[in-house]
Structure 1
Amino acid sequence: MSELSAKSEVPAFRIAADIGGTFTDVALLAPNGTLSTAKVPSTPDDYARGVLDGCREILSRDGISPGSLAEVLHASTVATNAILEGKGARTALVTTEGFRDVLEMRRIRVPRLYEPLYRKPAPLVARRFRYEVRERIGPRGEVLVALDEAGLERIAEAIAEAGIEAVAICFLHSYANPAHERRAGQILRQKLPGRFVTLSVDVLPEIREYERTSTTVINAYVAPPVGSYLRSLRKRLDGVGISAPLFMMQSSGGILDLESVLQRPAQVVESGPAAGVIGAGYVGRLAGYANIIALDVGGTTAKASVIENGRHLTTDEYEVGGGISLSSRLVKGGGYALRLPVIDVCEVGTGGGSIIRLNAAGNISIGPQSAGATPGPVCYGRGGNLPTVTDANVVLGYLNPEAIADGVVPIHAAAARDALQRQLADPLCRPVEDIAYGVVGIANALMARAVRSVTTSRGRDPRKFILFAFGGGGGLHAVDLAASLGIGCVVVPPAAGVFSAFGLLFSDIEFTQSQGMLIPLDAAQPARVAAAFETIEQEVLHRLARPPDSIRLRRRVDLRYAGQAFELTVDLPEGLLDADALDRLSDAFDAEHYRTYGHSLPRSHGREIVALRVVGTVIAERPEAKAVADGGGTAANNTATRRAYFGEHGWLETPVVGRGRLARPVLGPLIVEEADSTTIVPPGWLASLDARRNIVIEHQAE
């Protein structure tokens, strides 16, 4: 049974779908813990169609009626894509007089220091659609200038004439007193029926005008496309008899019901990457791995995140849309600030479908452009003519030369080799296998950048972690990547190729609420802080709409040293909130600051509370997942061999086996081939299975 206490109803069948750039993965969990999976091509013209295709396939194959499903869980990049592709709603911003250009000024940072002609991404709201209204709230919540309601009504008329679809309202210091924003919301909703109107006090009631404005604008910008997609998906699920509630993965790692997502869609901007991290944490706990670097290599991107002492790390310092999606206190200004809880994930545009080109200097360049699901890599035979990382893996003999994805995707190995030969090897006058091996090495170096962003850049030593690899390409790249980082152990879980869908099945319903409170820690009155927490907790309980005894509440505090511009978030010690608890909170902050930055300051230096946070999690009982039966791939039951290229070792006749063959340790070189993924074990590494049927690959000392 699950580690969590049984509080809520035990679900029947639960199904999860994760949309990737190349494939849509579906996983089904039965009441007895049996896990079934399916992998179908993504459908970029209509992503919902791919979700339905996967659901129908798995239900039909397992003989389960659509009405037997208790929950449908979903992770999607629809919000992210709206930002990256500039296809969000036509959005207006209504703000305090004098603050029209906050989105332009940002933080006055340039992320590319040696690029004098660098131009920031255009704001999501054009200047002509940013409207100023006369009003003013002071930092302590005092009304300095009354709200000009007549002016607001004129703004509503202008918004209607401009054909605006969504409106973001963000007034100065509204976190201290929301009255003006609330009233403005009432007026605009009345004057603009049918349009999405969102308030910063509902999205991010905290200090920092740019981050608060940007986050509120993102919420408005993605709301119509996210709403259109999710309502369409809901309707189509109903049409095939799947009437179970629909839940969406949040960027923070929890899931949220459909209606809540429709009101706060900014919370699902990084929906997809979060699911795999949750799955890695779940499997890691069961298998006894406390410190994990989760590596998810998909068709379009590679993502890295850290699980430390069994808990994933979260941040609210995040930018999206700047070419690389990452959380960083140092690299700023390349994207749009999203200050909401996000699992600390770094994502780079290097996946199986990433296109390989020669740049202007004649060097090999990989991504971020991807061949995607259509036309896909050259080896898929769907019309793609630009070589990709997947094509390089085919040339090296790592991937099955006949078909992958349990036979769903035929492989045209000769076409892949020809594309690399003509477009890369011939111009560089090098053997095609050397070029392919070099491509994989460059891809690994780019993935290492993502790993370092969440480890060494966070004060963590990657050598003290295991590398937990999943996604369709995780097992292909993990061992060489681990070697480059000094990591001695790689773990590849069952169902690695559909692991993000698996992670959805073990995500908890969760809601986070924050409230700004800028006060010196030494001057904080425990009773006042406790009362503020209780108010936030009531909001969380209201949003989750479940009995209080079925919800676990976690109190967190944003702290900084006096004079600092940014803060760190730490858990409030459990128990009575008194002076001693605040003293221990200071110690926890010092420890986190030391771990992150390598130093802390003496007690004589002041500390400040910046914001309070409450995370509410619904406690649910779930069956423990049983490993997917070994199957698929040409070598599931019989040992075969295939020539594979291993750099300095050259071409080696390499055993190709199924996971079950690793019941006894096997020394590389080795190819472990499964229905949804392939794992490469180079020479000098030993592969075996642990008690949870995870593949464990360890470096052997020479």
Structure 2
Amino acid sequence: MSWRVSADIGGTFTDLVAIGPAGQLRTRKVSSSVGDYGRAIVEGLGQLFAEVGFQAREVEEVLHATTVASNAILEHKGAKTGLITTQGFRDVLEIRTLRMPRLYDLTWEKPAPLVPRYLRLGVTERVLHTGEVATPLDEAEAVAAIEALLAEGVEAIAVCLLHSYANPAHERRIGELIRARAPKLPVSLSVDVLPEMKEYERTSTTVINAYLGPVLGRYLTGLVEDLKGGGLAAPLLLMQSSGGLMPAPEAARLPVRCVESGPAAGVIGAQALAKRIGMPNVISFDMGGTTAKAGVIEEYQVAQAAEYSVGGGIMVGSRLLSGAGYQVKVPSIDLAEVGAGGGSLIRIDAAGAPVVGPESAGAVPGPVCYGKGNTQPTVTDANVVLGYLNPAGLVGGALPIDAAASRAAIAEKVAAPLGLSPEAAAHGAHLIAASNMIRALKAVSSERGRDPRGFALVAFGGNGPLFAAGMAEALGMRRVVIPPSAGVFSAVGLLASEVEVHLSRSWRRPVAGLDPAALEEAAAALEAEARERLLAQGFAPARIAVQRTATLRYSGQSFELLVPFAAGDSPAALAEGFGAEHERTYGHRAGAAEPVEIVALQAVGRGLPETPRLPETLDLPPGLPPQPPRPAYFGPKQGWLETPVLTRADLAVPRQGPAIIEEYDCTCLVPPGARAALDGFGNIIIELGEASP
């Protein structure tokens, strides 16, 4: 086995991990290079290679999770995109579904469409939902629309015609007409991106794919060239929002599948960890410098969502609070995300109350203690004042910090206006940040019908282990797991991921009276296509696994639920699976007489590796040198306590809190009353008090 490397770009840091033929796990954390994210990857890998002592030619694959796609949407810096649709439907993108994230907020405004109205053109044609052509395509009109968009200098074109999922002929023809006139122009057809019903979701997803295509394409082309310049000719694979990997050329063709690329990697890592240590039910908590993300693993399975919104503010993760951003209907890990990280700014609002985030200092200028020009205190500055973080430096001393500057900023900007001491103000900010992030944990647990007290909390990211124990205790959870290399754990999760192919098609049928043979035929066709695509990527037939799923709903419902099923399962078994999932999610199910209908079918193909993606035992990097105890503040009841500063290895003997475990990539806080120890896999296990009844 050769070396495998992974790179996860965050808003503040870029995390790099390499795993060697004997299970050597080596890490590097570098500041993200905003504006040219690939530079931090190439330079950081060069440092890692030099430190570990292996050559770039020994790397067999490079795995990557990136925020390039999501940032392009958030910052409205995607390609100039045109849209061709059925005459009379050019405003679907603007009308949307009339969902509002805040029902009683009269000041809320829909985000501006990614394609302005003058670049949205209709053509004469009409296909019925049955696939029957009611009005033939007017090719002269289509050509005129194409030429008008090209004259406007569009960089990509999306094509989304009414009911094309039932009959793609007109969309395919328009695609041919575009390529005949602009062979190099990126074209996104909805039948290739999302061949499913629901007009707004299909249009929005197709437009986002076109909008991101040139941006991600340029980024990946430049990254591949830079990697080759550094001697790295290994294939580049990207993390999808669903938690699977896809080759870089496929990601450039379907960038919409990589919008939530970064957050997905950490959940996959948590799933691999859960299987290894025998904990079937865990909640993953990933807190970095800008945001905090939560996901749920139940019975070792990652919870999946069929769609989500992006670009409309912070993703709360509630089905009742949708509609804020741009709808993306592709498979994704069911995540909740809030604007809380180490770089989140602390301020006093107009009413005189302290507020933490969602605005962030990011990588530049970063927290006040970084000394890069920021004067507004952040969560990291609060943790420095509280004594939780090393007052001399972070990242093993590679990032010097100015603890006095943190204390001065907290004192002036937060403590003085509130009439508090600096430590009391900092502790309040720490608790506010924790309460913001508890929203994310609730969104993937109690709001999904799951009791968090039945789960362990797996915490990672540069700041996750600092907050995990306090948050778990507030939710009545009794166990926290801090994996090795927790600060770069999302990059470790990349190394555990597998190649995936996702296919779907609308297939609306009532379950009652459904011919089992028709269901099997439709599902088998999708499964065969998934196998063909993986065969084309070099996987042997024996190394391919395909899972079938269906989206179902009670007749008349607006929302569906995803239900897995196997070959040979009867329609009645599928309906029973839907009823059970409905009850688990919403707390009730309808009676047996309530009609259930299938809305769509899906197939997920996985390319299984010849050897395990992560070996059974890992050779972990050495820990930091021992540090003397230091005072840490634990609120008005305990006050300042002299707190031992430990290494992970010190927990081979169980310790009672308070304790601080310092590592190269993160710091873990064990509060008073908690107990911490290492398990047989090198994980820190923090045991809290008994859960409330």
TM-score band (shorter)?
Answer: over 0.9
Higher deviation after alignment, 298-307 or 419-428: 419-428
548, 552, 567: which one aligns with 2:545: 552
Structure 2: give runs of 5+ residues left out of the alignment: none
The equivalent residue for 1:126 is 116
- Superposition TM-score, scaled by structure 2 size: 0.97
Higher deviation after alignment, 190-199 or 175-184: 190-199
626, 631, 636: which one aligns with 2:617: 626
What amino acid is the match of 1:173? Answer: H
Note if contact 1:316-1:327 (Cα within 8 Å) is conserved in structure 2: no
Partner SS for 1:406: helix
- In structure 1, C-alpha distance between the alignment counterparts of 2:435 and 2:235, rounded to whole Å: 42
Alignment of 1:487 with 2:477, yes or no, is yes
- In structure 2, C-alpha distance between the alignment counterparts of 1:628 and 1:391, rounded to whole Å: 33
What amino acid is the match of 2:442? Answer: R
Give RMSD over aligned pairs. 1.3
Alignment of 1:607 with 2:575, yes or no, is no
Alignment of 1:420 with 2:413, yes or no, is no
The equivalent residue for 1:680 is 669
The equivalent residue for 1:566 is 559
Q: CA-to-partner distance for each residue in 1:304-327, whole Å, 9 max, x for gaps? A: 000000011001130001111254
- In structure 1, C-alpha distance between the alignment counterparts of 2:575 and 2:290, rounded to whole Å: 42
- Deviation of residue 633 (structure 1)? 3.5
- In structure 2, C-alpha distance between the alignment counterparts of 1:326 and 1:699, rounded to whole Å: 27
- In structure 1, C-alpha distance between the alignment counterparts of 2:272 and 2:494, rounded to whole Å: 11
Alignment of 1:671 with 2:660, yes or no, is yes
What amino acid is the match of 1:530? Answer: E
Partner SS for 2:574: helix
Q: Structure 1 pair 522/308, CA: closer, same or farther in 2 (3 Å)?
A: same
Matches within 5 A, 1:272-291: 272-291=262-281
The equivalent residue for 2:82 is 92
The equivalent residue for 2:300 is 310
Aligned residue-pair number: 685
The equivalent residue for 1:259 is 249
Higher deviation after alignment, 521-530 or 293-302: 521-530
- Superposition TM-score, scaled by structure 1 size: 0.96
The equivalent residue for 1:659 is 648
- In structure 2, C-alpha distance between the alignment counterparts of 1:522 and 1:208, rounded to whole Å: 23
- In structure 1, C-alpha distance between the alignment counterparts of 2:518 and 2:180, rounded to whole Å: 36
632, 639, 645: which one aligns with 1:650: 639
- Deviation of residue 640 (structure 1)? 2.3
Percent identity, aligned pairs only, is 50
- In structure 2, C-alpha distance between the alignment counterparts of 1:152 and 1:191, rounded to whole Å: 12
- In structure 1, C-alpha distance between the alignment counterparts of 2:120 and 2:690, rounded to whole Å: 63
Alignment of 1:69 with 2:59, yes or no, is yes
Structure 1: give runs of 5+ residues left out of the alignment: 1-10
Note if contact 2:24-2:620 (Cα within 8 Å) is conserved in structure 1: no
- Deviation of residue 20 (structure 1)? 0.8
Q: Structure 1 pair 193/326, CA: closer, same or farther in 2 (3 Å)?
A: farther
566, 582, 585: which one aligns with 1:596: 585
Q: CA-to-partner distance for each residue in 1:52-75, whole Å, 9 max, x for gaps? A: 112111111111111111100000
- Deviation of residue 599 (structure 1)? 0.5
Note if contact 2:317-2:337 (Cα within 8 Å) is conserved in structure 1: no
What amino acid is the match of 2:620? Answer: A
Note if contact 1:318-1:328 (Cα within 8 Å) is conserved in structure 2: no
The equivalent residue for 1:582 is 571
Note if contact 1:630-1:674 (Cα within 8 Å) is conserved in structure 2: no
What amino acid is the match of 1:640? Answer: P
Alignment of 1:641 with 2:629, yes or no, is yes
The equivalent residue for 2:160 is 170
194, 216, 220: which one aligns with 1:204: 194
The equivalent residue for 1:321 is 311
What amino acid is the match of 1:441? Answer: L
The equivalent residue for 1:8 is none
Q: Structure 1 pair 438/367, CA: closer, same or farther in 2 (3 Å)?
A: same
- Deviation of residue 439 (structure 1)? 0.4
- Deviation of residue 291 (structure 1)? 0.4
Q: Structure 1 pair 142/701, CA: closer, same or farther in 2 (3 Å)?
A: closer
158, 168, 175: which one aligns with 1:185: 175
- In structure 2, C-alpha distance between the alignment counterparts of 1:208 and 1:665, rounded to whole Å: 55
- In structure 2, C-alpha distance between the alignment counterparts of 1:497 and 1:329, rounded to whole Å: 30
Q: Structure 1 pair 625/392, CA: closer, same or farther in 2 (3 Å)?
A: farther
540, 559, 567: which one aligns with 2:530: 540
Partner SS for 2:644: strand
Matches within 5 A, 1:250-399: 250-399=240-389
What amino acid is the match of 1:576? Answer: G
402, 419, 444: which one aligns with 2:434: 444
- Deviation of residue 634 (structure 1)? 4.4
Q: Structure 1 pair 303/283, CA: closer, same or farther in 2 (3 Å)?
A: same
- Deviation of residue 575 (structure 1)? 4.2
- In structure 2, C-alpha distance between the alignment counterparts of 1:205 and 1:309, rounded to whole Å: 31
- In structure 2, C-alpha distance between the alignment counterparts of 1:363 and 1:26, rounded to whole Å: 39
